[in-house]
Amino acid sequence: MKEFAYRRATEVRDALTLVAAGDGARYLGGGTNLVDLMKTGVEAPARLVDVRFLPLDGVREAADGGLVIGATTTNSDAAAHPEVRRRYPALSEAILAGASGQLRNMATVGGNLLQRTRCGYFADPSQACNKRVPGSGCAAIAGEHHNHAVLGWSRHCAATHASDMAVAMAAFDAVVHYETLDGPGELPLAEFYPPVGDTPDRETALPPGALITAIALPGSAVSPRSRYRKVRERASYAFATVSIAADLDVRTGSARIALGGVASRPWRARRAEAVLREGPLTADRFRAAADAELSAAEPLPGNGYKVTLARNLIVAVLTELADRAPA
């Protein structure tokens, strides 16, 4: 591992100033992804600015009836918080599905949003990867890509986003709050991850040097019967093959659906949501919603199975939510 300097920030402004000073400085949260990548040479920051001790942890009530989760809250604390479990159960389920207890105890909510793809070529500095080295090519598209994207990918990169938590937050219309030296800002999660296009190395819309301070879950998205379901290649922890966060109001047909494991970012299933609003909520309607969403899929030669899997998962979870609804 390349040598690096370490600084522990105690004030947000200190952290911003230390990163703005350059030298390839990076914020350090739980380190559960960044430090792994430093060991393999994929990441080589000259300085780490530790933000875990900033006063940004905890879950608090928002004025609109929602919740605000501080960026340095651990994944364990966010998943276990009684109000997260009560109002946004799909978020708690997504975090619990994401990693082992040891990792959840270290990983922060802000860091979770910023984790890098688990594409094997990205993790191997000997391979061509436009995300790691812009313009170097993409070894995955002609290579091993069975777990890559089927929606919204480009010829420059077909990697998927690794976060389960972000999928649930996309379904709940979460808003990311951040701080810069010029002042605070916010980004709806729908805009937080830009389309991959020809710049797969640009993974978020955050301004340079911005520090995530909190994630707000709107009160309008409270859904005590929401659900997160994840298909993975083994029974123990693994990144999603396909996952879904969903809630469904059976009286109105209003639904919030986001998919994981299928795109470079959490994939909000707006086509499926539109079909559900046309009602009535029958098994045929659920199948039509899934078909509408997957009609945009463009699988690679080795991952067409994900289209079938995503379709079946959408139908299964919508059916479960409808069956669970009070009569």
**Integer Cα distance of 7 and 137 in angstroms:** 35
Piece in contact with ligand SF4 (CB under 6 A), picked from 5-13, 157-165, 232-240, 284-292:
157-165
Q: How far is the CB of 28 from ligand SF4 (least distance, A)?
A: 22
Q: Decide: is 162 part of the binding site for ligand SF4 (CB under 6 A).
A: no
Residues 200 and 303: beta-carbon distance below 8 Å: no
Given 51, 140, 168, 242, the residue binding ligand SF4 (CB under 6 A): 140
Closer by beta carbon to ligand SF4, 52 or else 145? 145
Residues 151 and 179: beta-carbon distance below 8 Å: no
Residues 62 and 68: beta-carbon distance below 8 Å: yes
Q: Structure tokens of 320?
A: 């479960």
Q: Decide: is 95 part of the binding site for ligand SF4 (CB under 6 A).
A: no
Residues 46 and 5: beta-carbon distance below 8 Å: yes
Q: How far is the CB of 300 from ligand SF4 (least distance, A)?
A: 10
CA atoms within 13 A on the CB side of 215: 28
Residues 145 and 302: beta-carbon distance below 8 Å: yes
Element spanning 248, H or E: strand 242-249
Given 32, 74, 112, 130, the residue binding ligand SF4 (CB under 6 A): 130
Given 121, 192, 228, 267, the residue binding ligand SF4 (CB under 6 A): 121
Q: How far is the CB of 51 from ligand SF4 (least distance, A)?
A: 26
Size of the site for ligand SF4 (CB under 6 A): 15
What is the SS3 assignment for 198? Answer: coil
User: Across the beta sheet with 47-50, what order do the strands follow?
Assistant: 5-8, 47-50, 25-28
Piece in contact with ligand SF4 (CB under 6 A), picked from 28-36, 156-164, 185-193, 243-251:
156-164
Piece in contact with ligand SF4 (CB under 6 A), picked from 16-24, 87-95, 114-122, 295-303:
114-122
What is the SS3 assignment for 23? Answer: coil
Closer by beta carbon to ligand SF4, 140 or else 321? 140
Given 91, 139, 171, 217, the residue binding ligand SF4 (CB under 6 A): 139
Binding site for ligand SF4 (CB under 6 A): 117, 119, 121-122, 129-131, 138-140, 148, 157-159, 200
